[in-house]
Amino acid sequence: MGERITIAETVAWLKGRDSFLILTHRRPDGDTVGCAGALAQGLREIGKTAYVLMNPEITPRYARFVDDYWAPDGFTPEHVIAVDTASRTLFPQNIGDYADSISLTIDHHPSNSCYAELTCLTDAATCGETIYEILIELSGTISAKSADSLYAAVTTDTGCFVFANTTANSLRVAASLIDSGARHRALNKLLFRTKTRSRISIESLIYSGLEYHFDGAVAISTITKEMMESANATEDDVDDIAALPGSIEGVLAGITIRELSSPQDCKVSVRTSQSVDAHLISAHFGGGGHKLAAGFNMKKTVDEVKKELLEWLKEFFPPEAAANA
């Protein structure tokens, strides 16, 4: 287990070094991508060499925040930094030998395993808020380009400030980013107010297949490869799709089971209310995350995953609790 360091110590570490490669997690979301782009930009602005490792799972929605920073062929970093990534198991397949030589991780997940030599771990609602603090201490300012990336990070991880993890600091940071030049109107339209026809189609299939358990306290949605193909849906189309079942009135735990590369490869996303711990639900299956948002992967079919999950959920929703939900 590596050493924990503060934001101030992280800034001092960055100032004293050069030649950085920044890593994002697999199936990258707005937080990990926005953090990577902003950190790379901020380091370049103080004269450092900084690139982001190409993530093969990046979607067009988020690629715009890191396209200018992809590491060129042959680049050999002196230091490797991971952002918004709680464990080594969450890196994309092209991580290679870097997985065992990560100098620093900057994160906000309580489940972070401190796998890097140094870990800067905060309790911020989003990793973007932590990167914001680091960049402010690093150079005293946030450029418009970094502001765009961090605005995407903060807003996507808080659901544009409607998720329960949103804090006053999230709003303060977003306001400061707008003051620094973040194009909030355009970004809000892009990230939250635009849906493709395929997104509408896959949502329709999800809603029609919803299952309710424990007297409606739990809603489970499934997404199979067949459904994705039927809706002609891409990865962009299912971004943040896990929030759908949890938005239903009376639901305390919204769970999405998604079939990935094969019928025996599933990703489970858990979104809960304050009264249910999503991390504890997920940790039982080797996953983790936050109290209100967590997940795990299982090499089993959708039906097998659902069966095991429902059995475990009895610990959180006993008959008498479900009756009073």
pLDDT at 1: 76
Res 325 pLDDT > 50: no
Fold of 3-192: inorganic pyrophosphatase (n-terminal core) (3.90.1640)
The Cα 288–Cα 278 span in angstroms is 8
Cβ atoms of 133 and 140 closer than 8 Å = no
pLDDT digits (tens, 9 = 90+) for 85-109: 999 989 999 999 999 999 999 999 9
- The pLDDT value recorded for residue 323 is 46
Residue 266: strand, helix, or coil: strand
18: tokens are 């050069």
Quickly name the fold that domain 197-323 has: Diaminopimelate Epimerase; Chain A, domain 1 (3.10.310)
| Mean residue pLDDT across the chain | 95
Helix, strand, coil shares of the chain, percent, nearest 5, are: 45, 15, 40
List the chain domain ranges.
Answer: 3-192, 197-323
**In the predicted model, is pLDDT for residue 324 greater than 90?**
no
pTM equals 0.88
Instruction: Output the DSSP codes for 136-202.
Output: HHHHS---HHHHHHHHHHHHHHTTTTTSTT--HHHHHHHHHHHHTT--HHHHHHHHHS---HHHHHH
Residues 111, 86 contacting (CB under 8 angstroms)? yes
